[in-house]
Amino acid sequence: MNILAIETSCDETACAVVRDGVTVIGEAVASSAAMHKRWGGIVPEVAARQQLSYMIPVLTEALQPFLTGRTRKIKDVLASDIDTIAVTVGPGLIGSLLIGIETAKTLAFAAGKPLIPVNHVLAHMYANFVGSPPPRIDFPAVSLVASGGHTELFVMQSAETLRWIGGTVDDAAGEAFDKTARLIGLGGGGGQAVQEAAARAAGKRSPPVSLPRPMMASGDLDFSFSGLKTAVMREWRKRADRSEDATAAFASEVEDAITDVLVAKTAKAARIHGARSVLLSGGVAANLRLRKKMNAAFKPEHIRLLVPPVRLCTDNAVSIGSYAYFRGQRSDWQTVSVHPDLSVEV
């Protein structure tokens, strides 16, 4: 079954065609992130306007594999190569979400195809199901979704069955990266900028920075990252040194603190639920230090660790298409609407 998936929850416009939930036939992503970087944060109005201008080119590019070498039009592809359309309906920015939803509804209406509404956060973890051959996942699996807006843990008994088991009580891990990056002078570069600065700290002799590991030892599977931002602010103000080395030392400790907590809580969840696989996803799963630490934690336990390629960690439509295949509910386009605050506690 070929699913045409559309994702526009934030500042990425993404389309993909995914076969049977695991094989990518076509995919395309356009991002307005660089534009927002200059403003120091996402401007929802600007993000929505960009979604609008990227939508048709991105859709066309994702459908290219069906168009090349023939004199076929998009309407022919929709009629004969696409079985179902899937679209992110939340959580996310309302203006951005609406561009994807209205596009998907129009296509479903015009082509007479069913439409599958998708929860963006739950979909992130399905980036781990995609590949050629598809990655092997042994169940039960524990899944950590760490993105700009969410830090959530789930347990999966199968590809179709998942349950929320914990999450952040305040800021998300990605948000902690984004906010601390700004505090230590790395602008709107977020986790990627922290990772790059931290890499420069290796081998340097800067005064050590010590930050808390919030809730790392708490008995539950919840996270809290807002205190980290306050601790960074306090420490940064205390020190006069604003050199590149000093920034690198801060970035390194920020990265170490956030990843320590993510690993400790995921390991705890894996122990409690007897996990045979651990799945990472969301933009923060792109972090190399996190990947290394997770590998060190789970390899000796013979727990299978799955991490998507970086392009499928950040927002993309491939995950949406995979999720729709395994867990989606085919609906009439008339019944699908936007849910900016959609809950992830399933």
Residues of the shown chain interacting with ligand KG4 in the complex, contacts defined by CB under 6 A: 10, 147-149, 174, 177-178, 190-192, 195, 282-284, 286-287, 314-315
Cis peptide leading into 140, omega within 30 of 0? yes
Cβ at position 313, least distance to ligand KG4 in Å? 7
Cβ at position 283, least distance to ligand KG4 in Å? 2
DSSP state, 184?
Answer: T
**Region binding Zn ion by CB under 5 A among candidate stretches 143-151, 180-188, 229-237, 325-333:** 143-151
Cβ at position 258, least distance to ligand KG4 in Å? 8
**Measured distance CA(308)–CA(293) in Å, rounded:** 16
| Residue closer to Zn ion (CB basis): 147 or 287 | 147
**Region binding Zn ion by CB under 5 A among candidate stretches 104-112, 144-152, 212-220, 293-301:** 144-152
Count interface residues toward Zn ion (CB under 5 A): 2
| Residue closer to ligand KG4 (CB basis): 252 or 314 | 314
**Measured distance CA(58)–CA(67) in Å, rounded:** 14
Within 10 Å of residue 68's Cβ, how many Cβ atoms? 8
191 binds, among Zn ion, ligand KG4, none (CB under 5 to 8 A by kind): ligand KG4
**Measured distance CA(172)–CA(179) in Å, rounded:** 10
Residue nearest to ligand KG4 (CB): 191
Residue where the block lists tokens 């290394």: 292
**Measured distance CA(238)–CA(232) in Å, rounded:** 10
| Residue closer to ligand KG4 (CB basis): 2 or 8 | 8
Q: Is 143 in the site for Zn ion (CB under 5 A)?
A: no
Cβ at position 246, least distance to Zn ion in Å? 32
One-letter amino acid identity for 95? G
Cβ at position 96, least distance to ligand KG4 in Å? 11
* Maximum CA extent, the chain: 66
Helix residue ranges per DSSP H, the chain = 33-39, 44-62, 64-67, 74-80, 94-111, 120-124, 173-183, 190-201, 226-238, 244-272, 288-298, 310-313, 318-327
177 binds, among ligand KG4, Zn ion, none (CB under 5 to 8 A by kind): ligand KG4
The values of phi and psi at residue 112, to 5°, are 65, 40
| Residue closer to ligand KG4 (CB basis): 37 or 276 | 37
